[in-house]
Copies of this chain bind each other. A is one copy, B any other.
Amino acid sequence: MRLAELSERSGVPIATIKYYLREGLLAPGRQINARTAEYDEEHLRRLRLVRAMIQVGRVPVATVREVLGHVDDDSLGRAIRLGAAMWALPQVPEPDEDDEYVQAAQQEVNALLDQLGWENAKRLTTISPAYRSLVVAVAAFRRLGYGWGAELLAPYAELMHRTAVLDLDNMETHPSEAERIEFAILGAILNEPVLQSLHRLAQEEETTRRYGFE
């Protein structure tokens, strides 16, 4: 397809596509003459992903470039490639290790991982942004005077594990490795509001089932 069709099918203005091309976020089309290039479904897919990252995820352009570099690096194994792409997304700031709430939260989260038997996650604690953000979130609770011990967290963690199994099952339906990783990135950026809304809707359903409408 030509640039105009790429723009129409993606809903991304031509000027924006040209900007993405200049910034290296989108591979150049196949040049068919001096003034015209041809784009394919892969361009369309990548363009939608870039747009989702920038528009919805508010991911900085330099970070988008880094994430896509990992997606396209087929010299890496699947887990590393997926991890590198996901971990390059903007993350919570480092927790302050000297903070007493952070230290208590770390102990709680470590106890949780033991209780769950999440051996792999335990091996990743020093480098994992997800571990870090959980510590930050649990520490925020503690700082406000609320405990959130491993016993309370464990059943939620089990449900989130089942959610992650669904995520990966869905991811594996995609044919190519690059598409699978793109799907995972998209999920990290777009699924959150869907899950959160489903959660609140489920709370309303369950509340009214238990207590009626009055």
Q: Which residues of A are in contact with B by a Cβ distance under 8 Å? A: 9-11, 44, 48, 51-52, 55-56, 77-80, 82-83, 86, 118, 120-121, 123-124, 128-131, 133-134, 136-138, 140-141, 143-146, 148, 152-153, 155-157, 159-168, 170, 186, 188, 190, 192-214
Residue A198 contacts which of B134, B146, B188 (CB distance < 8 angstroms)?
B134
- Residues from chain B with a CB closer than 8 A to the CB of A210 are 168
A48-B144, A77-B212 given as contacts; is B120 within 8 A of A156 (CB)? no
Bound complex: CA of A200 vs CA of B189, how far in Å?
12
Which of B161, B188, B194, B212 touches A153 (beta carbons < 8 Å)?
Answer: B194
Known contacts: A10-B145, A77-B212, A148-B194. The answer to whether A203 contacts B137 by CB under 8 A is no
- Interchain Cβ contacts under 8 Å between A and B, 20 examples: A56-B140, A80-B213, A118-B201, A120-B205, A120-B208, A121-B201, A121-B205, A124-B208, A130-B200, A136-B197, A153-B198, A156-B166, A156-B194, A156-B195, A159-B163, A160-B202, A161-B205, A163-B199, A164-B203, A165-B206
> By DSSP majority rule, is chain A's interface helix, strand, loop, or mixed?
helix
**Docked CA distance A153–B190 (Å):** 13
Check A131 against B170 for contact (C-beta < 8 Å): no
Nearest chain B residue, comparing its CB with the CB of A130: B200
Q: A144-B51, A153-B198 are in contact. Are A130 and B203 (CB under 8 A)?
A: yes
User: Which residues from chain B contact A145 at a C-beta distance below 8 Å?
Assistant: 9-11, 44, 48
